[in-house]
Amino acid sequence: MSIEFECPNCNGCVLEEVLSNVTLASEIHDIHNDGQVFYGKETTEDGTIEHYQCSRCGYIIYDTAGECVSTPEELIKWLNENPAPIKLIVIIRGGVLESMYSSRSDFEIEILDYDLEECAESEEAADAIKNEHDRLEKEAEYLHQIH
């Protein structure tokens, strides 16, 4: 099961691994007389993990001792201690509930237990959303997307 990341600073969801002492090799696809060089595929070798950061805002992940998290094991520990909030995503089209899912894969089954076939009428759809919302409110953030 995959672990979701959510940046505590900006809510970004993409993590970057920052390495130092990396050997980078780039294929040269074309070189011109005027000195212009055109590169192709790059490969990296070696390298040490310096830290992990949010790709959107650069927020660096520290452990509780104030040290940079710098191994996959430490990162997994941090992710488990700082879980991304669960969001309930509700798609309504033309007043009809079209789909409803959670932002976390381990939460999917509970939401899919709900029989969407019975939500064809917009009034029922509204009730269904309210019920799901009430159920999730205590433990989760939610998000309505109305198209």
Binding site for Zn ion (CB under 5 A): 7, 9-10, 12, 54, 56-57, 59
Q: Which is nearer to Zn ion, 54 or 140 (CB)?
A: 54
Q: Which is nearer to Zn ion, 60 or 120 (CB)?
A: 60
Could you tell me the smallest distance in angstroms from the CB atom of residue 110 to Zn ion?
A: 29
**Mapping DSSP to helix (H, G, I), strand (E, B) and coil, where does residue 134 land?**
helix
Could you tell me the smallest distance in angstroms from the CB atom of residue 4 to Zn ion?
A: 14
Instruction: Phi first, then psi: give them for residue 104, nearest 5 degrees.
Output: -120, 130
| Residue-by-residue DSSP string for 56-107 | TT-PBPB-TTSPBP-SHHHHHHHHHHSPPPPEEEEEEETTEEEEEEESSGGG
Q: Which is nearer to Zn ion, 58 or 95 (CB)?
A: 58
Could you tell me the smallest distance in angstroms from the CB atom of residue 58 to Zn ion?
A: 7
Could you tell me the smallest distance in angstroms from the CB atom of residue 7 to Zn ion?
A: 3
Q: What is the helix, strand, coil percentage profile of the chain, to 5?
A: 25, 40, 35
Task: Give the C-alpha distances (Å, rounded to integers) separating 117 from 9, 91, 122.
Answer: 39, 14, 12
Q: Which is nearer to Zn ion, 7 or 111 (CB)?
A: 7
